[in-house]
A = this chain, B = another copy of it.
Amino acid sequence: MHAETSVVRLGLLGCGNVGAALVGLVGEQGHIIEARTGLRLEVARVAVRNVAKDRPVDLPVGCLTHDADGVVHDPEIDLVVELVGGIEPARSLVLDALKLGKPVVTANKELVANVGTELFAAAESAGVDLLFEAAVAGAIPVIRPLRESLAGTRIRRVTGIVNGTTNYILTRMSEQGATYADALAEAQSLGYAERDPTADVEGYDAGAKAAILATIAFGASVVAGDVSHEGISGVTPADIAFAHRLGYEIKLLAVAEQGDDGRVAVRVHPAMVPASHPLASVRGSFNAVFIEGEAVGELMLYGRGAGGRPTASAVLGDVVDAAGNLRRGTSASIGTLPRAVIRPVDEARSEYYLHIEVLDRPGVLHAVAGVFAEHRVSIRSMEQEGMGDEARLIFITHEAAESDFQATLAALRGLDAVDRVTSVLRVVAA
């Protein structure tokens, strides 16, 4: 219990799903927060595009405005919550708020993944908080553990399932044997996927989150443009069936790693994950972030990666933190981060799964195996399926350099005996 109560007036920019849920949560949880922290949170002003639109929550009369700038500059507003999304005008609004000495809480992954460094520096000079737990993996505490709990350990790799749409699609394919197209259509009809699903299925959404995770985990600025992407639209039921037979699940992974030389690699791609790996059992629209660190060993943080109330609960956690720091006249700064040195993709190493259609005639395997050997890619297992025009070879390699593997692929495509390279997936070592 806290003797003195301190009122903190919030200005919301945007009031969609997350904003409406946040207003609801402040109403429901406000008394508990006040009892525990002495902070009385008030949603004082809410900037929206359409003031006339019906909202699922009650707001005080006169609270709504379409003037976001006015909310930021209103001297009555102590703390700004940015839920507009996109880079501009969000960036200018956030910078203005910070310059005015107002802490900012945002759920905007694009903003943080693209201009995070500029915002961190602005927060640092202003001496107020810029918090963004909700920008990655919704309700799951990820940013705060990486910043605080793991301050005492060097992080080697962060591997996330951070896009609920693609994980839902892959789960349907894995559990119901759906095709990619059918699972996508189902996700769209349920509102889990957009009409234009590109940002999700091609890995751009996961990539922005991976850039943020890398920045915080390694203390060096990584932007969305540093991330290499492969999406899931090429994953077939045959790949899934083969993965199951070998004891794997196929997941879209966001991977950020830092080598001993300090260089950072960040990529998004589908991968075969051993069934015994904690990430393999992350189903449906759930998210998880798996962290490997030097002293900490293996950690996984699992939960709801999206949705109005889960995301709003992460925003509210940040609001309580930032409001408390504001009252105490302190802030938790990320500081000025150096730019990360990015390791080129072709220096990565991985095991690979490869599915190719071949002509079923003597000597084909000999020719194919020769291509692997020539490029120093060693084969761990091979299976032939089907006969005649339907013949397929399925390989799993030992760990190989990406550049060697890409050269192998190019050479295989040039072989007369190879009809088509159907699928290529990375394989997470068991």
Contacts and interface: CB of A to CB of B under 8 A. Distances in A.
A228 to B, nearest CB: 26
Interface residues of A, number: 60
A321 B36 contact: no
A184 interface: no
A309 interface: yes
Given A149-B133, A151-B321, A310 B295 contact: yes
In the complex, the count of this chain's copies comes to: 2
A322 to B, nearest CB: 11
Contacts of A301: 141, 299-302
Contacts of A140: 299
Contacts of A313: 150, 152-153, 293, 295-296
Contacts of A385: none
B139 A144 contact: no
Chain B CB count within 10 A is highest, among A1, A29, A144, A278, for A278
Interface string A297-324: 1111111100101101111110111001
Interface string A132-148: 01000001110011001
Interface stretch (A328-336, A347-355, A395-403): A328-336
A37 interface: yes
A32 interface: yes
Interface in A280-305: 281, 293-304
A154 interface: yes
A21 interface: yes
A305 to B, nearest CB: 10
Contact of A152 (B154, B278, B298, B320): B320
A152 B316 contact: yes
Contacts of A304: 296-299
A1 B152 contact: no
A245 interface: no
Given A37-B151, A151-B33, A310 B335 contact: no
B33 A320 contact: no
A385 to B, nearest CB: 30
Contacts of A28: 154, 294
Nearest to A329: B330
A295 B21 CA distance: 9
A22 B75 CA distance: 47
Contacts of A335: 1-2, 36
Nearest to A303: B299
Given A293-B313, A297-B310, A29 B154 contact: yes
A180 to B, nearest CB: 24
A325 B328 CA distance: 11
Given A219-B32, A302-B278, A336-B1, A296 B139 contact: yes
Contacts of A303: 296-300
Contacts of A299: 139-141, 301-304
A297 to B, nearest CB: 4
A32 B154 contact: yes
A319 B37 CA distance: 22
Contacts of A320: 148, 151-152
A37 B329 CA distance: 18
A414 interface: no
A35 interface: yes
Nearest to A140: B299
Nearest to A321: B148
A152 B316 CA distance: 5
14 contacts: A1-B336, A1-B338, A25-B153, A25-B295, A32-B219, A139-B153, A141-B144, A144-B144, A144-B149, A149-B314, A152-B313, A152-B319, A299-B304, A330-B330
**Among all A-B residue pairs, the 7 with the closest Cβ atoms:** A152-B316, A141-B149, A299-B303, A295-B313, A141-B145, A300-B302, A151-B320
